[in-house]
Structure 1
Amino acid sequence: MEPIIHGILLAFGLILPLGVQNIFVFTQGVTQSNFIKALPAAITAAICDTLLIVLAILGLSLIVLQFDWLRIILVVAGILFLVYMGKVIWTSPAANNKETVALSMKKQILFALSVSLLNPHALLDTIGVIGTSAVKYSRQDQLLFTYACIVVSWFWFFGLATFGAVLKKVTIPQGVFLLFNKSSAVFIWGTAIYLLIGLWQGAY
């Protein structure tokens, strides 16, 4: 149960800030004529996140589990990165809900691929945070942690597209986006504390 809860909280904390990737999926839900036509953006973003999560967890596990000292260094680095990222997100301004034109399926997929795989923040989130956090778990627990992160990712992107499709052209107050960022920062700082406690108790 612990790895599932950890994965859910961590994934939500990392995915809540409405950056380029999330704004794109949301606006496709708003600008497309119906929800089905916004699915290419949501599905592509979710698949990219799934790929990054799996590669980060498997890749780091194969290397880190062989070296205790490297595991500790990565956990400490992950804690520092979480603290820094939480501060950046907490102080960041609310995202603007800019109106965009409806894109074709091909353009949706290509744009979603670019903002997902060429986004340095997404790479740092998965490799530096999710991958590092998974190191503390054994095989079965690590699998549960991975599933939890992936499910949150799919749920979130489909939720954004659905939310946009329901609201359509309704203007969303800036305060709503700001609240997302504040909530995300709290989640991230909580995860940093969780990792720090585990390090102090010798879990790593």
Structure 2
Amino acid sequence: MSYVSPFFNGLVLCSGLIVAIGSQNAHVLRTGLKREHVGLTVAACIVIDAVLIGLGVAGVGTLVQSSPLLLGAARWGGAAFLLWYGLRSWRAVFASAALTVAPEAARTGARQALVSVVALSLLNPHVYLDTVVLLGAIGGNFTPPERPAFALGAMSASAVWFCALGYGATRLSGLFARPAAWKWIDGLTGTMMLALSASIAFGA
């Protein structure tokens, strides 16, 4: 049995979900630009995502898989959500607003930095929708032996993204601070989400 397909599906799906601009990404970017507690912030985001993805695939996915009604609802609900997400991302491409990073003079301590990233991660309802609900439900479409590969793919995408965003910002602050860069990211995200929506809806 090949685990390449579920791993790749988890990798692509989580990549599309996590790249979209949000409070967590903005915080990681800001931390990288300020070069303050980058490692701590990135590690916290990776661990939080890994735990939530694991819980989603192991729990919610299993529950959905046991019920044809819930499985159908998850399939069409997930497809609809991805469609909305993709359209929203493309809307952001043409929006005039852009991500801004306000410089702060005072340096924060490690404890305060950890509390901030945990709060921004866990108090954001979208993180549960993305990881526990959506990824968990879609992961439930795979057979039990394939689910760990799907979860690992999603976790890998999360780890790569946060490392790239946090540490990349320390070296490429000018590029990531430009609105045009985020418009390209939003365009790529929108395309991926629309393609995944069609794939789920039509069982491709």
CA distance in 2, matches of 1:2, 1:27: 35
TM-score by length of 1: 0.88
Match of 2:25 in 1: 22
Work out which of the residue numbers 157, 160, 168 in structure 2 matches 1:155: 160
CA distance in 1, matches of 2:53, 2:176: 33
TM-score (norm 2): 0.88
Equivalent positions of 1:48-127 (< 5 A) are 48-92=48-92, 93=95, 95-101=98-104, 102-127=107-132
Q: In structure 1, what is the Cα distance between the partners aligned to 2:108 and 2:156?
A: 26
Q: Residues 70-118 of structure 1, C-alpha deviation per residue, up to 9 Å, x if partnerless?
A: 2111111111111112112221245323133343211221111111111
Alignment partner of 1:141 is 2:146: yes
Contact 2:18 2:158 (8 Å CA) reproduced: yes
Q: CA deviation at 1:160?
A: 0.8
Please give the secondary structure, in 1, of the residue aligned with 2:145: helix
Q: Deviation digits for residues 35-70 of structure 1, max 9, x if unmatched?
A: xx3111111111111111111111213312221222
Gapped runs of 5+ residues in structure 1? none
Kindly provide the CA deviation profile for residues 123-168 of structure 1, in whole angstroms up to 9, marking residues without a partner as x: 1112332112111101221110000000110111111111111135
Q: What RMSD over aligned residues (CA atoms) do the two structures have, in Å?
A: 1.8
**Percent of aligned pairs with the same residue?**
21
Range moving further from structure 2, 160-169 or 109-118: 160-169
Gaps of 5+ in 2: none
Give the match for residue 15 of structure 2.
12
